[in-house]
Amino acid sequence: MPSVCASLSTPLSSSPDDLVFCAAFALAWEQLRARFGPIRMDPQPALADALNAATLGAEVVDPAWSLSGAGFGGEGIVEALRAELFSKFPDAKPEYLPEEVPADALLAYGYLSKILKFETRFAVREGTFKSSRVRAFGLDGSPFGPDPARRSQVMVHDWAAPQDFVIELVADDPDSRVLVAQMAPAETLAATVSSALGRLDRLGGGERQLAPDEALSIPRLKLDVAEIFGDLIGRPLLGEALRGKRFGEAKQRVQFHLNEGGAGATSEAVIGSYGAPPPRSFNVTAPFLVLLQRRAASAPYLAAWVESTAWMEVLGPVPPPPVTPPGWGGPPGWGTPAG
């Protein structure tokens, strides 16, 4: 199952699943940091440190196809964000941006949407990925038709082996790149990205182009996934301006596609503190540790890490949660559906 990460520094080795980073959440956090300085919590999670250390700006994300902001409800932050969002993206359907929040609510929000198109559509074909047959796109192998134009949209940056190369698919925006790198992963997503970018422009001359007898096949991708960053929720915020507040939500949604017609990403993120935190709860619903220890001892005489239900009396599956109407992003009793 694909998962969303808020920081490129996320280890790849710790996640057996597919991983996607999109800058909307980092943009929202950057606005918090610009307003209040590095965000500190008690205790401080590693994700907050990673976000405090990240820098984006216009070099990474063009303000023409993004927006972000942070502030309190009484300052008109929601009204300002909604006005800018619908000015830049008239057809946007935000799910995380409320109509209104209480005056003392803290809200940070990020949104970006960028669609790239290939001038000549690639051929739809059957491909393989690992041991599966998948729908793919690329060349149709015919000496006639649009294949020469398709080949001109492929730039080979580096090729070391059939399983080790970096290519670029040239889209309609000369300021944007669509890069595909088949390579061994590094320890983190950031290190893997850095390794791929370090291989750009290694080849020159004719090696940079696809020859008529060279094949191209890339799996179609389509993703719509959301993530809640629980490490950032519920911890007391430190600093005079944020004293007494905690983030009640920190989440992001990413939609992404790559196919024969182009590539695109739309992402929305929100970080919010909406007044008094909810009552604490102590329901053990995830893996946990049990210790038996003498009060004055420095070590336990029993330690048990409970990862599965093998130790428990299982009564049946957990019922699914109630369906939340699209657009309802905050605690009950505030705001109205975003539209």
Expressed in percent and rounded to 5, the helix, strand and coil fractions of the chain are: 20, 30, 50
Tokens of 332: 């009950």
CA distance 272 to 253: 15
Residue 48 amino acid letter: A
What's the rounded Cα separation, in Å, for the pair 112 and 85? 10
pLDDT at residue 14, as a whole number: 56
Supply φ then ψ for residue 337, to 5 degrees: -55, 135
* Token pair listed for 149: 């134009």
Averaged in consecutive runs of 10 residues, what is the pLDDT profile of the chain (339 residues)? Answer: 88 75 95 96 96 86 95 97 97 94 96 96 93 93 88 95 93 94 92 93 94 93 95 94 93 95 96 79 82 86 86 85 53 42
H helix and E strand count, the chain: 5, 15
What are the structure tokens assigned to 176, written together?
């944007």
CA dist 245 and 248 (Å) reads: 9
What pLDDT sits at residue 306?
86
Work out the end-to-end distance of the chain between its first and last CA atoms, rounded to an integer number of angstroms: 29
**pLDDT at residue number 331:** 45
* Top-tier CATH class for 118-219: mainly beta
Q: Of the candidates 147, 263, 129, 274, which has an alpha carbon nearest to the alpha carbon of residue 210?
A: 147
Q: What is the DSSP string of 269-294?
A: EEEEE-SSPPPP-----S-EEEEE--
3-state secondary structure at position 232: helix
DSSP, res 246: B
DSSP code at position 243? T
Could you tell me the pTM of the whole model?
0.84
Per-residue pLDDT at 323 = 61
For the chain, the residue count is 339
DSSP conformation letters of 40-102: -BSSPPHHHHHHHH---STTTS-GGGEEEEEEEGGGTHHHHHHHHHHHH-TT---SS--S---
